[in-house]
Amino acid sequence: MKIEMLSGKVAVITGAGSGFGREFARIAAAEGMALVLVDVQADALAETVAELDGTDILHRTLDVTDGDAMETLAADTFARFGSVNLLFNNAGVGCTGLMWEATTRDWEWVLGVNLWGTIHGVRTFVPRMLATAKADPDYRGRVINTASMAGLIDPPLMGPYNVAKHAVVSLSETLHQDLSLVTDQIGCSVLCPSWVATGIAKSHRNRPHDDPTRTRAAALGGAMVEKAIASAKVSADDVARLTFDAIAHDRFWVLPHPQAVEGVRERADALLAGGAPADPYAAIPHVRQQLVAALRAP
Q: Which residues are catalytic?
A: 161
285 phi/psi in degrees, rounded to 5: -60, -25
**232 contacts 196 by C-beta, under 8 angstroms:** yes
Encode the chain in three state secondary structure: CCHHHCCCCEEEEECCCCHHHHHHHHHHHHCCCEEEEEECCHHHHHHHHHHCCCCCEEEEECCCCCHHHHHHHHHHHHHHHCCCCEEEECCCCCCCECHHHCCHHHHHHHHHHHHHHHHHHHHHHHHHHHHHHHHCCCCCEEEEEECCHHHCCCCCCEHHHHHHHHHHHHHHHHHHHHHHHHCCCEEEEEECCCCCCCCHHHHHHHCCCCCCCCCHHHHHHHHHHHHHHHCCCCCHHHHHHHHHHHHHCCCCEECCCHHHHHHHHHHHHHHHCCCCCCCCCCCCHHHHHHHHHHHHCC
